[in-house]
Amino acid sequence: MTARLTVIGGYLGAGKTTLLNGLLAAAGGSRIAVVVNDFGAVNIDRRLITSATDDTVELSNGCICCSLQDDTSAVMTRLAGRGDLDHVVVETSGVGDPAALRTWGNYPGFTPGATVVCADSTAAARLLRDEFVGDTVARQLTRADIVVLTKADLAGQAGLADARRRCREHAADARVVESAGGDVHLKDLLPAAPANPAMGEQAPGDSDLGEPAPVDLDLGEPAPGDPASAKPASADPAAAEPDAHGTVHRSASVTGAGPVDRSALLAALRELPVSVVRLKGVVRCADSPRARTVVQYAGGRLEVTTDGDWRDADTSGLVIIVAGGGRADAELRSVSDRLAEVLLG
Ligand SMILES: [Zn+2]
């Protein structure tokens, strides 16, 4: 059996892991392997994948499309040779080019699936204008069969329309869907057999009545109007030309073993310089030592939530990503020094 290869891309903080979790939850009995690439040295996304899956491979400390090409090839070749997988889903790093991964869909053992690119509807228009990251965001969008406009409930109607228009400029042939509230409800995502059109309206287990309308994605086939011939046909991941994303973005990671003072952590997080485009992590707070406290910062918005029980094997870890190349180095250093102090108590 060949595995259908689905690629989830999109800029830092756009909601890729949320989408991935929705996809895994909707996967039923399909056998799925997941590849997660985190740009930072500590793979936070691996720890935020909530649904059980048969296999999860993490690729950290570099970008899956440029600096980790050897590791990526080894992983993808191994998965292609398995023969027992229905699906392989790759979550690219937030700076990565999804095209470098989608070409693997033509490799023996894989069937090409959709490339899904997440765009934060509250941030996409601004990011596309940004002198440092605009090119990276635009390029990701050009690769999309499906664009998911995330955080639609936070954007406001005018903001959402603007985000849709801006994304369309780079993804003219893609299907554009919205998701709201971070609770993307994905139905029939990964049909193991030919998709069943009768399952259209209401999937079993729909319990979110009254919530925003569920996003109904069928990742089974690439969107019409997006002929595969328009994309690189080579299975060589190096086929995509590089852009500057690897040098514009810098990351640092901090870890700590002991419980963290929540107010000290929040104080540090309230003073992030504008060059910080993404910060995420899982920490153990002294005031709730049995819980995993999840820190998410993207698009200028900070979210601190809890996600399940702290496990003995866990250590607190935060990844900070700045954009601006060498100009942001000093700020990255000062933010990571400050957070290291907080994590070390
Ligand atoms: Zn890359």
CB 1 within 8 A of CB 83: yes
Give the Cα separation of 306 and 184 in Å (integer).
19
Centre of ligand 1 to C-alpha 7, Å, is 14
| Spatial CB neighbours of 321, under 8 Å, sequence gap ≥ 6 | 12, 39, 40, 94, 95, 249, 250, 251, 276, 277, 278, 279
The CA 240 to ligand 1 mean position distance, Å, reads 10
Predicted pLDDT of residue 243: 65
With 80 as the cut, is the pLDDT of residue 80 above it? yes
Q: Is 5 helix (H, G, I), strand (E, B) or coil?
A: strand
Cα 30 to averaged position of ligand 1 atoms, centre (Å): 29
Cα 64 to middle of ligand 1, angstroms: 6
Inter-residue contact 32 to 4 (CB < 8 Å): no
E strands present in 151-288? 175-178, 249-256, 276-283
Q: What is the pLDDT of residues 67-76, one digit of tens each?
A: 888 899 999 9
pLDDT band for position 278 (cuts 50, 70, 90): very high
Model confidence over 176-196: pLDDT tens digits? Answer: 988 875 555 554 344 433 333
pLDDT greater at residue 239 or residue 308: 308
Per-residue confidence (pLDDT) for residue 54, from 0 to 100 = 59
* 39 CA from centroid of ligand 1 (Å): 9
Read out DSSP for 218-230? -TTSPPTT--GGG
Determine what percent of the chain is predicted with pLDDT higher than 90. 59
Please indicate whether residue 263 or residue 18 has the higher confidence score (pLDDT). 263
Q: What percent of the chain has pLDDT over 70?
A: 80
Same fold: 3-243 with 246-344: no
pLDDT category of residue 202 using cuts at 50, 70 and 90: very low
pLDDT of residue 222: 44
Q: Domain spanning 3-243 has what CATH number?
A: 3.40.50.300
* Domain extent listing, the chain: 3-243, 246-344
Helix (H) or strand (E) holding 288: none
Region 6-12 average pLDDT = 95
Rounded to whole angstroms, the Cα distance separating 48 from 239 reads 31
Bridge partner residues of 112 (DSSP): 5
> Integer distance in angstroms from the first to the last C-alpha of the chain?
51
DSSP 247: H
To which H or E segment does residue 301 belong? Answer: strand 301-309
**CA 23 – ligand 1 centroid, Å:** 24
What's the CA angle centered on 296, arms 314 and 48, to 5 degrees? 45
**Cβ-contact 342, 270 below 8 angstroms:** no
Distance from the CA of 95 to the center of ligand 1, in angstroms?
6
Question: What's the gap between Cα 194 and its chain centre?
Answer: 27
For domain 246-344, the CATH architecture is: 2-Layer Sandwich (3.30)
What pLDDT was estimated at residue 215? Answer: 46
188 Cα to the center of ligand 1, angstroms:
30
Lowest mean pLDDT among 49-58, 124-133, 147-156: 49-58
Distance between Cα 99 and ligand 1 center (Å)? 10
pLDDT by residue (tens digit) across 145-167? 999 999 999 999 999 999 999 99
Three-class SS state of 274: coil
Q: Give 87 Cα–ligand 1 centroid separation in angstroms.
A: 23
- 8-12, 55-59, 83-87: segment of lowest average pLDDT: 55-59
Cα of 36 vs centre of ligand 1, distance in Å, is: 13
